[in-house]
């Protein structure tokens, strides 16, 4: 995430056009990475000494609070999330309720976890879309950017 944010700075002078950002000292001991497509979809990743939590929002998902009359977080998204990781999402700038999926992993865990969410047939929580935006190697990222710019 640091590499992608750095390459975004190098390849895009306009901050508002950057997909990736990284804040080393978001809070004490906490780093934050963000992928934002500029169309209302985003993925926040909070890295802490206790573990990592990912909060994603797909504005077209039927799981979006805005797709429901009650405008509430879809049932189960934050269920079972450890309180110490969930507390990382409490900052007003995080917009905790703008969420269609949440994934977490404590440092002591061997697997990633999600809440018990029932996704209706034909719907998506957006997590597949965001996993496609993570490119683990700088060379692959640069190839994608070459096509965009």
The total domain count for the chain is 1
In the three-class reduction of DSSP (H, G, I as helix; E, B as strand; rest coil), residue 47 is classed as strand
Q: In terms of residue numbers, what domain contains 32? A: 2-135
Using alpha carbons, select from 11, 15, 44, 10 the residue that is nearest to residue 30.
44
Is residue 8 included in any domain, yes or no? yes
**Residues 23, 24, 30, 33, CA torsion sign:** positive
41-86 confidence digits (pLDDT tens): 999 999 999 999 999 999 999 999 999 888 999 999 999 999 999 9
135-149 confidence digits (pLDDT tens): 454 455 455 445 544
Is residue 141 included in any domain, yes or no? no
Rounding to the nearest 10 degrees, give the CA dihedral for residues 12, 13, 19, 24. Answer: 120
């Amino acid at each position: 995430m640091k590499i992608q944010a750095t390459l975004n700075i190098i390849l895009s002078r306009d901050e508002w056009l950057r997909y990736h950002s990284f804040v080393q000292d978001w809070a004490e001991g906490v780093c934050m990475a963000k992928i934002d497509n500029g169309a209302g979809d985003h993925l926040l990743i909070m890295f802490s000494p206790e573990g990592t939590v990912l909060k994603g929002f797909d504005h077209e998902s039927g799981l979006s609070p805005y797709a429901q009359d009650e405008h509430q977080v879809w049932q189960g998204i934050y269920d079972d999330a450890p309180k110490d990781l969930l507390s990382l999402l409490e900052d007003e700038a995080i917009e905790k309720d703008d969420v269609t999926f949440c994934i977490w992993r404590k440092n002591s865990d061997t697997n990633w976890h999600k809440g018990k969410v029932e996704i209706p047939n034909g719907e998506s929580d957006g997590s597949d879309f965001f996993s496609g935006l993570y490119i683990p190697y700088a060379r692959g990222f640069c190839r994608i950017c070459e096509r965009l710019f």
